[in-house]
């Protein structure tokens, strides 16, 4: 049975169209995980106290329509048991009975003392509530295509960007990338796939590169590819889908 919590799109979650920003949508999903772990135990902090840390390695999210200011939503999440070093997490955002967004994230559990990945046979997610992973209408993974990229910006990682691990919070990337897509005020994020390759520590500068837009076959979705680098090494890779409002 999934864990769920109810919340509302606030005035601090929206863009100029009074619609939830890309980062806000991902935050609702990530907040569900933290609340699930806090409620069911062990919590994220309790794991950290034992030298263990969940780190997201891959995210896939599809958004069926924008979320509006002050819209009441229910966010659901559940874990899928792992047989290797990948710990899947599924997410659903509902407005009433309508599914507005859904996603799948792949997490790794790291032993920070020994610097190794924990296998599913060593850690059970049963306490969090488990079920089969959600099936998306988009690919759950992607490989960055061999296409031209143009540098579109850079960002120094500041204190307000980082989480308790002192690297950029995984939710912060979405608004950062979306800012470089043209006609921001006329579009919404309809899908996103992100490969988290390396952390972005506080004080480092992230360089951002964007591709030309691609139209998807049989859809009104437009795709942009991104890659970010820190000191010449890959930070993340992303495939962002947009649709016009």
Q: Supply the DSSP string of 133-182, one letter for each residue.
A: PPPPSS-S-----S---EEEEEEE--GGGB-TTSBB-TTHHHHHHHTTSS
Rg over alpha carbons for the chain, rounded to the nearest Å, is 18
Give the mean pLDDT of 2-31: 97
**Max intra-chain CA distance, the chain:** 49
Q: List pLDDT tens digits, range 79-95.
A: 999 989 999 999 999 99
Q: What is the pLDDT of residue 1?
A: 79
- What is the SS3 assignment for 185? helix
Is the pLDDT reported for residue 217 higher than 90?
no
Q: What percent of the chain has pLDDT over 70?
A: 100
Q: How is residue 119 annotated by DSSP?
A: P
pLDDT in tens, 34-73: 999 999 999 999 999 999 999 999 999 999 999 999 999 9
User: For position 132, what pLDDT does the model report?
Assistant: 96
Do residues 205 and 155 make contact, with C-beta atoms less than 8 angstroms apart?
yes
Residue 26 confidence (pLDDT) above 90: yes
């Amino acid at each position: 049975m999934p864990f769920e919590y109810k919340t509302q799109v606030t005035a601090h979650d929206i863009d100029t169209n009074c619609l939830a920003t890309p980062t806000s949508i991902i935050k609702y999903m990530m907040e569900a995980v933290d609340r699930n772990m806090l409620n069911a135990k062990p919590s994220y902090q309790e794991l950290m106290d034992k030298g263990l840390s969940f780190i997201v390695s891959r995210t896939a999210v599809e958004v069926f329509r924008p979320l509006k200011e002050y819209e009441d939503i229910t966010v659901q999440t559940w874990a899928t048991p792992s047989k290797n070093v990948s710990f899947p997490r599924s997410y659903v955002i509902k407005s009433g009975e309508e599914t507005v967004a859904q996603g799948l994230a792949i997490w790794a559990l790291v032993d920070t003392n020994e610097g190794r990945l924990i296998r599913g046979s060593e850690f059970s997610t049963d306490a969090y509530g488990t079920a089969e992973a959600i099936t998306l209408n988009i690919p759950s993974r992607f490989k960055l295509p061999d296409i031209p990229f143009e540098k579109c910006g850079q960002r120094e990682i500041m204190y307000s960007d980082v989480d308790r691990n002192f690297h950029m919070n995984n939710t912060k990337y979405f608004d950062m990338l979306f800012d470089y897509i043209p006609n921001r005020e006329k579009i919404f994020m309809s899908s996103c796939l992100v490969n988290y390759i390396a952390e972005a520590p506080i004080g480092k500068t992230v360089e951002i590169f964007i591709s030309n837009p691609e139209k998807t076959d049989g859809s009104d979705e437009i795709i942009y590819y991104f890659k970010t680098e820190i000191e010449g090494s890959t930070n993340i890779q992303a495939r962002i889908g947009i649709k016009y409002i």
